C-alpha cells in the first residue's frame, strides 16, 4: 500500500494547512479482476467537505474505469491497478473543478444546485459564487445525487446572505456619504472662493472711496475753485448778438486756469492708479493661489518621486530608498503609506496590482509587525479615499496578502479588532467600522482556521 501527498500546487498548499490525509492506494486481485481499493477515501472526502461517492466517481470518469461505492461498509473501489501518485493527481483535478473557489482559491465552498440544473460553488471566505463547468460527466451524477442539506448549514447560509445584503447596503451608504462629502467640500470651496472675491471687491471699493476722499481734501487744501452750476449764470438767448466777449489775460485768471487743468489731470491720474491697483491685486491673488497649490502638492511631489524611482529599480533597492535621506520621509510607517500611494493606480483593479507588487511590500515590511500594520492601514486609507469603487474588494486584497505571506494572520486579526488603528492615517472611525464589517466573514474564517491549527 502506497501513500502520497498532493503536489505542491496552490491546492496542495491550501489543504496541507488543514491536515488533509494523503490518499492511499491498495491494489487487490489479479488479471481481469484486478482493482484498486482506496481505504481512506471517506477521510479524504470529509476533509474536502464532499461525499466520497463524488471523488470516487470522478476518478472513475477520468481513468475510464468502473467504480464501486459501498457507503455502509465504507468501501470505495476503482477497477484496474492505479498507484497513489496517479490517484493524487486526479484528486487535485477534482479539487480545482469542484472544491476551490474560482476567485480566491479557498477550499471551503458549498455546492449549490440552481433551478436551471447548474452547479455553483459558494465560497465561505469571500462570498464569491463560482460556476462549475457542466461539460464534465460528474456533473450529471451530482445532479442525480445532490449533497444532503444540513439544516444548520442552511440556517447559517441564510444568516450569511443576510449579512452580505447588509454589507452591500452599508457599502452603498458609504458611497452615498462619500458623494455627499465631496459635494459638501466642493460647495464649501465655492462659497469660500465667492466670499473671498466679495471681500476683495469690498476692500477695493473702500480703498477707492478713501482715495477719492483724500484727493478732494487735497483740492480743498490747495484752494482749487469748485464749479458751482447754480451760482454760474447761464448764457441767455436775450443777450445782445453784438456783444464781444474778451478773454481775461490777467495773471490771476491764468493761474486759475492752470489749477483747473491740474485738477483734471489729477482725476485722470486717480483713474490710472485705480487700474494699476486692480492689476496688482489680481497678480497678487494669482500668486497666492499658486503658492497655496504648491504647498498642497508638496507631499504629492515625494510620492511622484518615489513612483519614478520604483519604475527603474527593484524591490530591495526601493526598500532601501524608502528609508533614506534622499526621499525625506519622517518615519518608516509614513514611508509604507507613500509606497502604497506610489505602487497602486486608483483607476485600475486593485487585486491584480497587489499581486503584481507584492515583492515591494514584502521588501518594505518584512517581519516587522508595526510596518505590516502600517501597510494594512495604508491600504484601508487608499481604498476608502482614492478608490472607493473597489471598497468591496478589500476582503480579496487581505486574502491575497495573507496567502502570499505579506501579512501575518495575527496582524490582520489585530487590525480587525481595532477600528481606531487607521485613525493616524486619516481614516474616520465610522468608515473604519464599515470596512471591518465588510471583511468580517474573512476575519471570522481566519480566526477559526487559527483555532483549528492550534488544536491540531
pLDDT score, position 111: 93
Residues 6+ apart with CB under 8 A from 390: 349, 350, 383
Rounded Cα–Cα distance for residues 315 and 260 (Å): 81
CB 344 within 8 A of CB 357: yes
Rounded Cα–Cα distance for residues 278 and 285 (Å): 11
Band of residue 258 on the pLDDT scale cut at 50, 70, 90: low
Hunting for cell 529599480 — which residue is that? 313
pLDDT score, position 53: 94
Backbone CA torsion sign across 43, 49, 55, 57: positive
* CATH number for the domain formed by residue range(s) 299-455: 1.25.40.180
Could you tell me whether strands 129-131 and 119-123 are parallel, antiparallel, or unpaired per DSSP bridges?
antiparallel
CB 66 within 8 A of CB 34: no
Take residue 65 and report the three cell numbers written for it.
474505469
Rounded Cα–Cα distance for residues 375 and 411 (Å): 10
Q: Is the pLDDT of residue 277 over 90?
A: no
Band of residue 131 on the pLDDT scale cut at 50, 70, 90: very high
Q: Is the pLDDT of residue 119 over 90?
A: yes
3-state secondary structure of 110: strand
Band of residue 447 on the pLDDT scale cut at 50, 70, 90: confident
DSSP calls for 148-196: PPPHHHHHHHHHHHHHHHHHHHHHHHHHHHHHHHHHHHHHHHHHHHHHH
Q: What is the 3-state secondary structure (H, E, C) of 31-44?
A: HHHCEEECCCHHHH
CB 138 within 8 A of CB 405: no
What is the arithmetic mean of pLDDT over 380-395? 79
Other CB atoms closer than 10 Å to residue 211's CB: what's the count? 14
Higher pLDDT, 220 or 12: 220
Band of residue 95 on the pLDDT scale cut at 50, 70, 90: very high
- The answer to pTM > 0.75 is no
Q: Is the pLDDT of residue 121 over 60?
A: yes
Mean pLDDT of the chain: 78
Closest CA to 382 of 325, 431, 309: 431
Rounded Cα–Cα distance for residues 162 and 185 (Å): 34
pLDDT score, position 335: 84
Q: Is the pLDDT of residue 1 over 60?
A: no
Q: Within a 13 Å sphere around the CA of 14, how many CA atoms are in the beta-carbon half? A: 19
CATH 1.25.40.180 domain range(s) in the chain: 299-455
Fold classification of 2-107 (topology level): Defensin A-like (3.30.30)
Band of residue 138 on the pLDDT scale cut at 50, 70, 90: very high
CATH 3.30.30.170 domain range(s) in the chain: 2-107
Closest CA to 34 of 93, 73, 83: 83
Closest CA to 328 of 294, 308, 299: 299
Query: pLDDT per residue over 200-220, tens digit each?
Result: 777 777 777 776 666 666 555
Closest CA to 389 of 182, 163, 172: 172
pLDDT score, position 255: 61
Largest CA distance in the chain: 155
Q: Is the pLDDT of residue 197 over 90?
A: no
Rounded Cα–Cα distance for residues 431 and 419 (Å): 9
Query: pLDDT per residue over 291-330, tens digit each?
Result: 554 444 444 578 888 888 888 889 888 888 888 877 777 7
Other CB atoms closer than 10 Å to residue 336's CB: what's the count? 27
Query: pLDDT per residue over 15-45, tens digit each?
Result: 444 468 999 999 998 888 899 999 999 999 9
Hunting for cell 492550534 — which residue is that? 454
Hunting for cell 517581519 — which residue is that? 367
Amino acid at each position: 500500500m502506497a501513500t502520497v501527498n498532493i503536489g505542491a500546487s496552490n491546492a496542495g498548499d491550501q489543504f496541507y494547512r488543514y491536515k488533509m490525509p494523503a490518499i492511499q492506494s491498495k491494489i487487490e486481485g489479479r488479471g481481469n479482476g484486478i482493482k484498486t481499493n482506496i481505504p481512506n477515501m471517506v477521510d479524504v472526502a470529509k476533509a474536502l467537505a464532499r461525499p466520497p461517492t463524488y471523488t470516487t466517481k470522478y476518478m472513475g470518469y477520468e481513468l475510464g474505469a468502473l467504480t464501486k461505492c459501498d457507503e455502509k461498509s465504507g468501501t470505495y473501489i476503482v477497477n484496474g491497478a492505479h498507484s497513489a501518485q496517479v490517484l493524487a493527481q486526479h484528486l487535485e483535478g477534482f479539487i480545482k473543478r469542484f472544491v476551490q473557489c474560482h476567485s480566491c482559491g479557498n477550499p471551503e465552498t458549498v455546492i449549490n444546485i440552481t433551478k436551471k440544473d447548474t452547479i455553483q460553488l459558494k465560497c465561505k471566505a469571500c462570498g464569491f459564487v463560482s460556476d462549475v463547468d457542466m461539460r464534465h460527466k460528474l456533473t450529471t451524477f451530482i445532479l442525480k445525487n445532490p449533497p444532503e442539506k444540513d439544516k444548520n448549514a442552511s440556517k447559517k447560509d441564510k444568516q450569511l446572505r443576510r449579512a452580505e445584503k447588509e454589507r452591500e447596503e452599508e457599502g452603498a451608504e458609504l458611497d452615498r456619504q462619500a458623494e455627499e462629502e465631496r459635494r459638501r467640500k466642493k460647495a464649501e470651496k465655492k462659497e469660500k472662493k465667492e466670499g473671498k472675491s466679495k471681500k476683495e471687491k469690498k476692500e477695493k471699493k473702500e480703498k477707492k472711496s478713501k482715495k477719492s476722499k483724500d484727493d478732494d481734501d487735497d483740492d480743498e487744501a490747495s484752494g482749487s475753485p469748485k464749479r458751482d452750476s447754480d451760482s454760474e449764470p447761464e448764457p441767455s438767448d436775450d443777450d445782445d448778438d453784438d456783444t464781444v466777449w474778451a478773454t481775461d489775460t490777467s495773471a490771476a485768471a491764468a493761474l486759475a486756469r492752470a489749477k483747473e487743468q491740474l485738477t483734471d489731470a489729477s482725476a485722470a491720474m486717480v483713474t490710472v492708479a485705480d487700474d494699476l491697483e486692480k492689476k496688482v491685486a489680481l497678480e497678487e491673488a494669482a500668486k497666492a493661489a499658486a503658492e497655496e497649490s504648491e504647498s498642497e502638492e508638496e507631499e504629492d511631489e515625494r510620492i511622484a518621486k518615489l513612483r519614478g524611482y520604483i519604475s527603474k529599480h527593484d524591490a530591495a533597492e526601493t526598500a532601501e530608498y524608502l528609508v533614506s535621506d534622499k526621499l525625506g520621509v519622517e518615519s518608516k510607517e509614513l514611508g509604507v503609506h507613500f509606497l502604497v500611494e506610489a505602487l497602486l493606480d486608483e483607476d485600475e483593479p486593485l487585486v491584480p496590482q497587489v499581486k503584481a507588487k507584492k515583492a515591494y511590500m514584502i521588501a518594505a515590511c518584512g517581519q516587522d509587525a508595526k510596518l505590516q500594520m502600517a501597510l494594512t492601514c495604508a491600504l484601508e486609507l487608499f481604498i476608502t479615499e482614492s478608490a472607493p469603487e473597489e471598497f468591496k474588494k478589500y476582503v480579496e486584497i487581505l486574502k491575497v496578502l495573507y496567502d502570499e505571506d505579506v501579512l501575518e494572520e495575527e496582524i490582520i486579526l489585530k487590525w480587525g479588532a481595532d477600528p481606531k488603528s487607521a485613525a493616524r492615517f486619516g481614516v474616520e472611525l465610522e468608515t473604519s467600522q464599515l470596512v471591518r464589517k465588510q471583511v468580517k466573514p474573512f476575519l471570522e474564517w481566519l480566526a477559526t482556521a487559527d483555532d483549528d491549527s492550534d488544536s491540531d
